[in-house]
Structures are given as structure tokens and as C-alpha cells.
Amino acid sequence: MDAQRNRQRLIETARHMLADEGGKVALEAIAREAGVGIGTLYRHFPTREALVEAVYRAELNTVCESAAGLLAELPARKALRAWMDRFADYVAAKREIADALRAVIASGAVTSAQARTALGGAVRTLLEAGAAEGTLRTDVRAEDVVVSLLGIFLACNTPDQREQAGRMMDLLMDGLSARTT
């Protein structure tokens, strides 16, 4: 139990510190901030890359799992748009740790195909709920929505472009909306 709690605390602390420091924070500082010794950090994460991978996977899981929670709180169309905003936060977090993440990607521990599959599952859940409600189109592939979102954030890749990215996500939502005749 303590081991799992320590692991989670290390991941959360690393997420914040890597983002704040652009991925260049010392592992000793992460351990200290998490309230554990450096040995505990190394037992869970034998390399910096292992820690960065865990942070990345935690972020990916958080954004994917948020789809169900949003559907419990909101109509599907609004849940999908709220999820897009969470996806934007996920992309921003990846950008902040980009240098550290490159080594993890180069090792093959994380692939874009894995991420797209997970993200596609979350979007599929939202699209299916919207189709059942009659608010979202029934002929849209989740993978196409994920790639469209990636395109938006490739085009609007700096924090000062977040407002424009929001407008582009609104346009995407208009294209996903069910047409009533």
C-alpha cells in the first residue's frame, strides 16, 4: 500500500516539476519534493526515462478515463467538447516535457499508435453516446476526430494560440453535430 502510494506521489510530483522545469529537473529534487528518498524513486523508476514514461502514461490514462466522467455529468455533445479541452491540456503537458519524452519515444516504450488507440477509444465512447442521443453524427470515425484534434494542436502549438485552438475545436464540433432536417 505504501509502495503504491509512493509511486503515485512520485508520478504526480514529477508531472508538476517536469512541466515547471521543462523536463530538466533533477531526480533527487523530485524525490525530495515527493517526500521519499532517492532509493525509493529508483526502486520504482530505475531511469529518468522510466519516470517520464510513467508520467506520460498517467496523463494519457487521465484524459482517456475522463470521457466516462464527463458523460455522467453532461449531455454527450457537451461532454465531447469538454473532453476536447481536456485533450488540449494533455497536449500542453506533453509539450512541456517534450525533451524528456523524446528519449522515451526513441526507445519504443511509447508509440503514437498506442496513444491514438487509447484516445480513439475515449472519443468513440463520446461519439456513440452522442449518436444515441441524436446530437452527434453516426458516420464519424473516432480515429478521424483524434487526428483532427492533433492537427489543430499542430497548427496552434503555443499557449498564446489556445483561444484559436478553441475556436477550431468549436468548428470541429459543428461538423460532428447531427443535422436535423
Q: Is 111 helix (H, G, I), strand (E, B) or coil?
A: coil
Fold assignment, 1-46: Arc Repressor Mutant, subunit A (1.10.10)
- Per-residue pLDDT tens over the stretch 44-80: 999 888 998 899 899 999 999 999 999 999 999 999 9
Identity of the highest mean pLDDT range in 9-23, 42-56, 99-113, 130-144: 130-144
d(CA 177, CA 135): 6
pTM, to two decimals: 0.85
CATH topology of domain 47-176: Tetracycline Repressor; domain 2 (1.10.357)
Angle between helix axes 48-73 and 98-107 (nearest 10 degrees) is 100
In the chain, where are the structural domains located?
1-46, 47-176
